[in-house]
Amino acid sequence: MERLCLERKAGKRFGRERSTSVEKGEKRSQLLILRGEVALAVAVLMNSFGVVLMLYSGGGISAISSVPYAFSQVFPWLSLGTWTYMFQTLLVLSLMILRKRFVPQYLFSFAVGVIFGKMLDFYELWIQILPQELPWRMVYFAVSFFVISVGIALSNRCGLPIIPTDLFPRELTEITKAPYSAIKITFDVSCLFVTAGLTGIFLGYIDGLGMGTVLAALTMGKAVAVIGGWIDRKIKFESVMAK
């Protein structure tokens, strides 16, 4: 009798586990499947445009590009795009040091970073055609904040090496096991301090940073996490490098 009861309980447990497994499988099958390569291309275009638009809004440049921007103002013989992929090289090397090994995928990330830098220079060529009245600049900041947040969320899920400024907090999250939002906010705020120090010392005033920059640095990590959660419920990405 006792054995029969045990068998019944085991059967019920197996049934529940099988039901749960089937439900998870059905949810995965209902996800929209997109190519990670397309997601990465869209993310690079979105993030580079968002960075330039945020700077043009007058609210200050985004935290992830504030350090290269500071260098481009202090040493103007190199463009913002060039300083950007030089900064990204430093981030890639830092990750390899933290992992204590050479990571070939990071080289692809550097290549993506170069394209990102070139797109920054491209957008800067024509962004001045947009109107600069205050209401428009407020719209530009809101749009740029949303565009960058979506771009980073896509980058984190595309299954491919991404631009180093987005790669760094994602990989640091994996290395330290700390929450992504905390790592992202800490990274952004650190960039702001470096920018403030660099421009303050060499230019005599703080350049590139505004209330919008500080607001983005303190809130964008959370915005990326929220948008990423929504994407996870709707979309699944497949790429040539995905396991």
Q: What is the pLDDT of residues 175-215, one digit of tens each?
A: 989 988 888 888 988 998 999 999 999 999 988 888 888 88
Pick the closest to residue 117 from 67, 150, 79, 64 (CA basis): 79
2-16, 132-146, 186-200, range with the lowest pLDDT: 2-16
The predicted structure's pLDDT at residue 1: 54
CA distance 222 to 225: 5
Per the listing, tokens 């090397």 go with 93
Domain identity same for 104 and 25: no
Among 69-83, 107-121, 221-235, which is the least confidently predicted range? 107-121
Q: Are residues 61 and 75 in the same domain?
A: yes
Q: What does the alpha-carbon distance between residue 90 and residue 80 come to, in Å, rounded to a whole number?
A: 16
Same domain, 147 and 209: yes
Q: Return d(Cα 83, Cα 70) in angstroms, integer.
A: 9
Same domain? 103 vs 202: yes
Does 218 lie in the same domain as 136? yes
165, part of any domain: yes
* 193 and 117 in a common domain: yes
194 and 147 in a common domain: yes
Cross-strand bridge partners of residue 44: none
From CA 112, how far away is CA 44, in angstroms rounded?
8
Please indicate, yes or no, if residue 241 is contained in any of the structural domains: no
Is residue 184 included in any domain, yes or no?
A: yes
Could you tell me if 55 and 23 lie in one domain? no
Are residue 154 and residue 99 in the same domain, yes or no? yes
Q: How high is the pLDDT of residue 97?
A: 92
Which one-letter amino acid corresponds to residue 129? Answer: I
Number of domains in the chain: 2
- Any domain includes 5: yes
State residue 231's pLDDT score: 92
Are both 153 and 61 inside the same structural domain? yes
Q: Are residues 23 and 77 in the same domain?
A: no
Domain that includes residue 12, residue range: 1-30
The closest of 165, 63, 64 to 112, measured between CA atoms, is 165
Instruction: Note the pTM of the prediction, 2 decimals.
Output: 0.74
Alpha carbons 209 and 193: distance in angstroms, whole number: 10
Whether 240 maps to a domain, the answer reads: no
Helices 36-56 and 211-234: angle between axes, nearest 10 degrees: 160
Q: Is residue 243 part of a domain?
A: no
Amino acid occupying residue 121: D
Asked if 64 and 83 sit in the same domain, the reply is yes
